[in-house]
Amino acid sequence: MKAVDLPQPAAKARHTLAWRLAAAGLTAFALAGAALAQAATVGIVAAENFYGDVARQLGGTHVNVESILNSPDQDPHLFEASPKTARALQHADIVVYNGADYDPWMDKLLAVAKNDKRKTIVAAALVGKHAGDNPHLWYDPATMPKVAHALTDALKAADPAHSADYDANLATFVASLKPIDAKVAQLHARYAGVPVTATEPVFGYMADAIGLAMRNERFQLAVMNDTEPSASDIAAFEQDLRKKQVRVLIYNSQATEALTRRMLKLAQDSHVPTASVTETQPPGKTFQQWMLSQLDALAAALGNAKQ
């Protein structure tokens, strides 16, 4: 017999497995048929909106997704969680976050907002990264397929009645990543070994996948950690731009300290093409569209470089 879900109480978006089983039993007697129209939702909280978007694509109409880091206008490295965030986590069926010290506030909140039934997915754990590694894991083409598989497993465990839908959504999602892989391969064939630089390591894994020779990594780490790069690292960065020793400057438009703005201006004055990237998914784009548009912008910048 097919499990039937009760209409969701408006004030409580909580769907523990126990509640769902009780609901299924109840409906068998009292509400069979009547509640069929209303599908229950699995509550998902994503620390970052790109994981939230992927969860929405995988869950379709069966999920309710809340993303905490949502705005490309704020620096995620400086984010502080609020009590509202803790409450959302308390009631979530599935939580997904980056880890590798990108969102250290999540570990603290989850420890406080305990919930034995909640399934937690940490991207860093899926790809073997730790605190101290470059935390911008969603720019690694290998990361999202792993997160998507883990999310699908969690969705099927939380809501087995819709397993077939989740499997179909996963297949669609995995197929939708193919144009990104194709673009990376195309850029690799053309630009592997080309020297570039960046204001922050946000695009680092993607640059690696393309085979670009990334320069000034110490400078980028200092900017990411909100500390001052050394005078010699700043001088080396400026030299690279002035002497056009790099083909492109990849600019994190989400972390715009005076120093990174200075480098952007120097690149423009030196006629070094720039490609803008963000840490957080911009509104109106899916994860896939966001990645492709940034790869297109990079391709245009690499193509514009005059040596």
CB of 251 to Zn ion, least distance (A): 13
CB of 147 to Zn ion, least distance (A): 18
* Residue indicated by tokens 């922050």: 200
Strand intervals (E) in 3-112: 42-48, 63-69, 94-97
Whichever of 65 and 202 has its CB closer to Zn ion, that residue is: 202
CB of 134 to Zn ion, least distance (A): 9
Whichever of 69 and 94 has its CB closer to Zn ion, that residue is: 69
Among 165, 138, 160, which residue's Cα sits nearest to residue 54? 138
Output the six-digit token pair for 193. Answer: 């070994």
Whichever of 130 and 243 has its CB closer to Zn ion, that residue is: 130
Whichever of 69 and 170 has its CB closer to Zn ion, that residue is: 69
What sign does the CA torsion over 89, 58, 175, 297 have?
A: negative
CB of 254 to Zn ion, least distance (A): 7
Whichever of 225 and 245 has its CB closer to Zn ion, that residue is: 225
98 close to 123: Cβ distance less than 8 angstroms: yes
- From first CA to last CA, the distance across the chain in angstroms is 69
CB of 12 to Zn ion, least distance (A): 35
Binding site for Zn ion (CB under 5 A): 202, 279
CB of 225 to Zn ion, least distance (A): 10
Report the run of H or E that residue 274 belongs to, with start and end: strand 274-277
Q: Output DSSP code: residue 204.
A: H
Whichever of 106 and 202 has its CB closer to Zn ion, that residue is: 202
Whichever of 141 and 204 has its CB closer to Zn ion, that residue is: 204
Output the six-digit token pair for 219. Answer: 């400078």
Among 54, 91, 21, 48, which residue's Cα sits nearest to residue 286? 54
Helices (H), 162-285: 163-176, 178-191, 204-210, 217-224, 231-242, 258-269
Output the six-digit token pair for 25. Answer: 């039993």
Q: Mind giving me the DSSP string for 145-192?
A: HHHHHHHHHHHHHH-GGGHHHHHHHHHHHHHHTHHHHHHHHHHHHHHT
CA distance 156 to 180: 27
Whichever of 93 and 140 has its CB closer to Zn ion, that residue is: 140
CB of 77 to Zn ion, least distance (A): 5
CB of 57 to Zn ion, least distance (A): 23
